[in-house]
């Protein structure tokens, strides 16, 4: 509609312009069901040909092939690149987008959006829609996206996600107790935020697999929450039951069913019990008799307590605990906890206003990913909590999850004003050094992996709820890239191989340390990274001979204009995967505006 306003202004006839404007204003005022918003043009949506330039890396696991990635970029452009690399392969996306509070906390087309902007909500929805469309394409069939949000846009985000992901793939809007202290300067203390969850494909009926069917878990192609670990401290064995530790669960349940409402007699005391009002027993009289004979019914220490059911740890340990939809502060951490952790790294410097606690993301990942080598993406990376949480979870359970973060390198509103007063521009090094990607996200990543603050002092204390010392850091590797832009003709003519090498490394799996190129040759085999590149198809015979020595190569990139040639070469080389240079890349990034 904003575009129509501009078109109406172009009409020369005053009478016609006035009549059209009046009719258009009537349409604007009409109420419509569902989500209706202005679709705004975004400068970031122009076609691009992206590459990656390495800025830094940190390695504390030299024997590991696993590398996390941070990309400094406008996140729409980064998502276009990630779609080329990982369409249908991402297991979990967590994002913490701007909440659109009106407090100038985000930009649209290089301008801050504040409460006076009449198109504030439609700009936010336009921005989110384009990114969520791409995010959906990244997710695997068993993947899900978790979006932190507050009341400013929670309702509209739900409607938008219904549209993008499909209402049937809505999982939940999880309330998170983000703070415990009361806010006394208002009539209502807002102590919660939301985490909106959508699946790529929602499994409507959760299958709790038995141990004998555990191998089927990885074949499930729809999303469902994983159970959380059992709290073993709640189990004991006061009667020395040979079946091991147990806990007493209620034997009554909500509802009143006549066949489940009957008197139960304690055989030791003759005490008689009926279900509480409005409830009934969990099983029929016949099943109760069998449980009693199996010594699975207890009546408390005195024998006067209503019947309870023995639940054995050995039976529950595999199934785990069903996650609760209420994310309480004690279990998931608070915003204050996230802030205190950043203060350990950065001191008193206020680097980021609302960091999430790693415990929150770590538990989300436990519930959302069912394989130890899951791929996790966060394209509103902020202070870098998601990568921090992935490292924490990997350290706790020995997993090999890989994380890709994306954030821009913007400075805060106050810092921008100060820098401009000094005559500096975003191109200046001093400005760049204060941007969030370099000053916060990467600094936190390096410090958390190496176990020290920004001054090199070892971090104090353990990660909450664990015995992991922060000073020990993590056995982990991470690399920091800046997204750059290429000219299409340079790519088509093969002039940009060096700049595209990190992209090829990621497309081949991001295995091992990202290779560099000193000299360009007709072909190159990166054995440690399990991929090889043929830049001159006339040298195929030499390439094939060299490749036979390297049995570990899994992906080949071949510069050829013919798909048939590519397929024939792949067959002759007997390599699992072949990618055409540079045609596949150019075809992918030829796309214009993202639409559905």
* Helices and strands (H and E) in the chain: how many: 20, 22
Distance CA 538, CA 574 (A): 19
Contact criterion met (CB below 8 Å) for 59 and 147: no
Cα 469 off chain centre by: 25
Q: Strand 103-108 vs strand 111-114: parallel, antiparallel, or unpaired?
A: antiparallel
Cα of first residue to Cα of last residue in the chain, in angstroms, is 19
Backbone angles phi, psi at 482, to 5 degrees: -110, 130
Residues in the chain: 596
Predicted local distance difference test score (pLDDT) of residue 320:
76
- What is the layout of strands, in order, in the sheet containing 531-534? 523-526, 531-534, 555-559, 577-581
Encoded tokens for 555: 């992906």
| Residue position matching structure tokens 């982990």 | 476
| Residue position matching structure tokens 């529950």 | 316
The vertex-549 CA angle with 548 and 551, nearest 5°, equals: 75
**Residue (of 95, 194, 191) closest to 138 by Cα position:** 95
Contact criterion met (CB below 8 Å) for 540 and 526: no
Q: Which letter does DSSP use for residue 519 in this model?
A: S
Cα 308 off chain centre by: 41
CB atoms near residue 246 (< 10 Å): 23
Encoded tokens for 271: 């005490």
Contact criterion met (CB below 8 Å) for 67 and 513: yes
Contact criterion met (CB below 8 Å) for 372 and 397: yes
Encoded tokens for 109: 């087309």
CA atoms within 13 A on the CB side of 344: 20
Complete DSSP assignment for 450-499? HTB-TTSPBPPSB-TTS--BGGG--S-EEEEEEEEE--HHHHHTT--HHH
Contact criterion met (CB below 8 Å) for 364 and 374: no
Contact criterion met (CB below 8 Å) for 147 and 378: no
| Residue position matching structure tokens 């106050």 | 414
Backbone angles phi, psi at 542, to 5 degrees: -65, -40
Backbone angles phi, psi at 58, to 5 degrees: -140, 135
Cα 391 off chain centre by: 14
**Residue (of 388, 251, 253, 389) closest to 311 by Cα position:** 251
Q: What predicted TM-score, i.e. pTM, was given to this entire model?
A: 0.84
Q: What is the enclosing helix (H) or strand (E) of 545?
A: helix 540-549
Distance CA 81, CA 197 (A): 24
Encoded tokens for 355: 């960091």
Contact criterion met (CB below 8 Å) for 437 and 409: yes
Backbone angles phi, psi at 349, to 5 degrees: -65, 130
Distance CA 319, CA 375 (A): 24
**Residue (of 136, 137, 113, 140) closest to 125 by Cα position:** 113
Complete DSSP assignment for 70-134? EEES-HHHHHHHHHHHHTTTEEEEEE------SEEEEEETTEEEETT-TTHHHHHHHHHHHHHHH
SS3 11: coil
Encoded tokens for 195: 């985490």
Cis omega before residue 236 (within 30°)?
no
Per-residue pLDDT of the chain (596 residues; tens, 9 = 90+): 667 778 888 888 888 888 888 877 766 665 555 677 777 777 767 789 999 999 999 999 999 999 999 999 999 999 999 999 999 999 999 999 999 988 888 888 878 888 888 888 989 999 999 999 999 999 999 999 999 999 999 999 999 999 999 999 999 999 999 988 887 777 788 899 999 999 999 865 544 444 444 444 444 578 888 887 788 888 999 999 999 999 999 999 888 888 899 999 999 999 999 999 889 999 999 999 999 999 999 999 888 899 999 999 988 876 777 888 899 998 899 999 999 999 999 998 777 888 999 999 999 999 999 889 999 999 999 999 999 999 999 999 999 999 999 999 998 877 888 899 999 998 899 899 999 999 999 999 999 999 999 999 999 999 988 899 999 999 999 999 999 999 999 999 999 999 999 999 999 999 999 999 888 899 999 999 999 999 999 999 999 999 988 778 999 999 998 999 999 999 999 899 999 999 999 999 975 544 44
| Beta bridge pairs of residue 284 | none
The vertex-404 CA angle with 399 and 407, nearest 5°, equals: 145
What are 108-145's pLDDT values in tens digits?
887 888 888 888 898 999 999 999 999 999 999 999 99
Most distant CA pair in the chain, distance: 98
**Residue (of 129, 158, 199, 185) closest to 34 by Cα position:** 158
Contact criterion met (CB below 8 Å) for 190 and 182: no
**Three-state SS string across 498-514, please?**
HHHHHHHHHHCCCCCCC
What are 307-356's pLDDT values in tens digits?
999 999 988 876 777 888 899 998 899 999 999 999 999 998 777 888 99
Encoded tokens for 569: 């070469």
Distance CA 479, CA 531 (A): 19
CA trace torsion 117, 121, 122, 127 (10° rounding): 100
| Beta bridge pairs of residue 481 | 54, 71
Encoded tokens for 307: 């019947």
């Amino acid at each position: 509609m904003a575009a129509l306003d501009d078109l109406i202004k172009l009409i020369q006839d005053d009478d016609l312009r006035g009549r059209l404007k009046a009719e258009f204003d009537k349409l604007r005022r009409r109420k419509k069901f569902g989500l209706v918003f202005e679709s705004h043009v975004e400068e970031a949506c122009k076609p691009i040909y992206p590459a990656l330039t390495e800025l830094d890396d940190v390695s504390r696991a030299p024997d590991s092939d696993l590398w996390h990635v941070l990309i400094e970029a406008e996140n729409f452009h980064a998502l276009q690149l990630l779609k080329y690399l990982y369409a249908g392969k991402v297991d979990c996306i967590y994002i913490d987008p701007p909440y659109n509070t009106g407090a100038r906390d985000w930009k649209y087309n290089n301008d801050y959006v504040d409460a006076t902007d009449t198109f504030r909500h439609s700009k936010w929805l336009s921005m989110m829609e384009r990114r969520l469309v791409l995010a959906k394409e990244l997710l695997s069939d068993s993947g899900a996206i978790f979006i932190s949000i507050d009341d400013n846009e929670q309702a509209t985000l739900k409607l938008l996600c219904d549209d993008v992901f499909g209402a049937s793939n809505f999982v939940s809007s999880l309330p998170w107790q983000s703070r415990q202290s009361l806010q006394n300067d208002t009539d209502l203390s807002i102590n919660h935020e939301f985490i909106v969850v959508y699946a790529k494909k929602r499994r409507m009926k959760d299958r709790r697999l038995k141990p004998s069917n555990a191998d089927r878990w990885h074949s499930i192609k729809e999303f469902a929450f994983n159970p959380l670990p059992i709290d073993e401290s709640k189990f004991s064995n006061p009667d020395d039951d040979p079946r091991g530790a147990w806990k007493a669960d209620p034997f009554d349940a909500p509802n009143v069913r006549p066949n489940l409402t009957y008197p139960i007699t304690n055989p030791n005391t003759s005490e008689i019990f009926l279900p509480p009002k409005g409830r009934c027993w969990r099983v029929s009289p016949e099943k109760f008799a069998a449980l009693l004979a199996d010594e699975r019914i207890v009546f408390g220490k005195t024998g006067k307590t209503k019947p309870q059911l023995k639940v054995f740890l050995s039976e529950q340990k595999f199934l785990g605990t069903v996650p609760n939809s209420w994310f309480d502060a004690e279990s998931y951490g608070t915003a204050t906890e996230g802030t205190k952790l950043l203060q350990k790294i950065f001191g008193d410097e206020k680097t980021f206003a609302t960091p999430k606690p790693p415990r929150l993301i770590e538990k989300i990942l436990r519930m959302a990913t069912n394989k130890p080598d899951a791929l996790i993406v966060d394209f509103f990376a902020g202070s870098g909590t998601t990568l921090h949480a992935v490292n924490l979870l990997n350290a706790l359970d020995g997993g090999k999850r890989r994380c890709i973060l994306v954030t821009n390198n913007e400075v805060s509103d106050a810092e921008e004003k100060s820098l401009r007063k000094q005559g500096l521009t975003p191109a200046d090094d001093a400005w760049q050094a204060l941007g969030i990607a370099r000053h916060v996200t990467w600094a936190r990543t390096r410090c958390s992996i190496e176990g020290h603050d920004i001054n090199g002092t070892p971090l104090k204390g353990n990660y909450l709820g664990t015995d992991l010392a922060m000073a020990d850091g993590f056995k982990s590797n991470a690399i920091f890239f800046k997204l750059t832009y290429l000219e299409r003709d340079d790519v088509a003519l093969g002039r940009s191989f060096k700049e595209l090498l990190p992209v090829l490394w990621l497309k081949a799996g991001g295995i091992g340390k990202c290779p560099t190129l000193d000299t360009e040759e007709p072909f190159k085999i990166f054995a440690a990274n399990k991929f090889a590149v043929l830049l001159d198809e006339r040298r195929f015979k030499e390439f094939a001979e060299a490749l036979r020595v390297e049995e570990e190569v899994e992906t080949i990139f071949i510069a050829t204009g013919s798909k048939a040639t590519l397929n024939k070469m792949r067959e002759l080389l007997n390599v699992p995967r072949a990618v055409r240079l540079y045609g596949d890349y150019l075809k992918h990034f030829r796309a214009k505006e993202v639409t559905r």
